[in-house]
Amino acid sequence: MLNLDRILNQERLLRAMTGLNRQAFNELLSQLI
């Protein structure tokens, strides 16, 4: 299982996992909620 907290705290990992930078990821999350 992925450690999401760790990924979210490390932008390089976040980018590797999602292909998105933090700003784009946050925008995506805000649209989902």
Measured distance CA(4)–CA(2) in Å, rounded: 6
DSSP 3-state of 7:
helix
**What is the pLDDT at residue 1?**
63
* pLDDT tens by residue, the chain, 33 residues: 677 787 677 878 777 877 878 888 788 889 987
DSSP 3-state of 32:
helix
Measured distance CA(11)–CA(15) in Å, rounded: 6
Residue 4 has which token pair? 């999401």
**What is the pLDDT at residue 10?**
81
The pTM (predicted TM-score) of the whole model is 0.46
